[in-house]
Amino acid sequence: MPRPKKPIATLPPLVSPRERELLDDLELIKREGIIITVAGFAKRNGYANKSALRHFPVLRRELSLYVAQFSAPSQRRDVPLAVKYLESQIERQNRVIDRLKRQIKVIPQLKSKIAELEQQEKEYSKQENVLRGMLSTVISFLSESDFAKARDLSARLEEQAKALLEDKKRAD
């Protein structure tokens, strides 16, 4: 026959002296009716953050019950998924609108840059025409003198002019 089990006495949890001090401070806060958070309680008692209270199970339970009295019930839990979806779409559209507004600010700057480049192109084309005229003048002047030298100079000047024009085309 099995041996009968001894009745287990429900003993209160063991409370360390430091936990007793913290519980006394919590009682003081309760009597004064101070609204406090877990992190605020931890800082009030010299701890950097609420994770330092993990060593005090009784205090954590009592403190969480006290703090829960003052916390407002969450309104977000009752929001249907369709509403959440629409809210996220609105946020996404607002981000797109902000991005497009930033791009719109860049357009006038780009238009002024285009106008400036077109003006430079006109100046380069005028310079090119002037250089061609000067080159043809030099060639005609040289061709009227010694023909052998003129042909040689003319060929070299043509090559240099073509090289300059090709370099200009590559730069554009």
Average pLDDT on 16-31 reads: 91
Which of 10-24, 41-55, 61-75, 139-153 is modeled with the greatest confidence? Answer: 41-55
Where is pLDDT greater, at 125 or 140? 125
* Tally of CB atoms within 10 A around 155: 11
Mean pLDDT of 51-76: 82
User: What pLDDT does 90 receive?
Assistant: 94
Which pLDDT tens digit goes with each residue over 73-100?
655 556 678 888 889 999 999 999 999 9
1: how many CB neighbours lie within 10 A of its CB?
Answer: 3
Instruction: Identify the band that residue 71 occupies on the pLDDT scale cut at 50, 70 and 90.
Output: confident
In angstroms, the Cα distances linking 143 to 133, 139, 146, 148, 152 are: 15, 6, 7, 9, 10
Calpha distance 167→163 (Å, rounded): 6
Residue 53 in this model has a pLDDT that exceeds 90:
no
pLDDT at 163: 80
Q: List CB contacts of 29: < 8 A, sequence separation 6 or more.
A: 36, 41, 66
pLDDT in tens, 141-161: 766 666 666 677 777 778 888
33 alpha carbon, distance to own chain's centre: 43
Q: Which amino acid is at 40?
A: G
pLDDT for 83 equals 86
Which residue pairs from 112-117 have beta carbons closer than 8 angstroms and sit at least 24 positions apart in sequence? Answer: none
Lowest-confidence region among 10-14, 126-130, 156-160? 10-14
pLDDT at 66 over 70: yes
